[in-house]
């Protein structure tokens, strides 16, 4: 069950909107390789405003994500892409609806 999440707010530098979009789309393969990241969304909120929402079953999953490749890339490129540092908030998930895992067929 999803219990904790991160809400990250990002504001693109002028002229960097397309690069921010590309950067966020490029994060998907990295996140897919994180077994403890239950859900991950890259969001466009406004003309230059973006966000990331990712959810985890436990604090251990959250911590693994925070020390993973996506977080490292975000911090590495923050000064280049964003007008302000990323605003990262840890949030508690009160309720969630996620797709059920497909059950394996028995042979």
Quick one: pLDDT at residue 101?
A: 60
Cβ neighbors of 40 (< 8 A, separation 6 or more) are 27, 28, 31, 52, 53, 54, 55
Reported pTM: 0.88
Residue tagged 């002028």 (tokens): 14
Find the mean pLDDT for residues 17-43: 95
CA-based nearest residue to 13, from 88, 75, 78: 78
pLDDT per position as a tens digit, 4-16: 999 999 999 999 9
Q: What is the pLDDT of residues 54-107, one digit of tens each?
A: 999 999 999 999 999 999 999 999 999 999 999 999 999 999 998 876 444 443
Domains (ranges, CATH) in the chain? 4-92 (3.30.70.100)
3-state SS, residue 90: strand
């Amino acid at each position: 069950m999803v219990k904790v999440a991160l809400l990250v707010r990002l504001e693109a530098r002028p002229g960097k909107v397309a690069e921010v979009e590309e950067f966020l789309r490029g994060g998907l393969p990295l996140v897919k390789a994180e077994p403890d990241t239950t859900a991950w969304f890259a969001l466009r909120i406004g003309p230059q405003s973006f966000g990331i929402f990712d959810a985890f079953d436990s604090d251990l999953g959250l911590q693994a994500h925070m020390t993973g490749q996506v977080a490292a890339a975000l911090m590495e490129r923050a000064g280049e892409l964003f007008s302000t540092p990323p605003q990262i908030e840890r949030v508690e998930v009160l309720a969630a609806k996620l797709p059920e895992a497909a059950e394996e067929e028995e042979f």
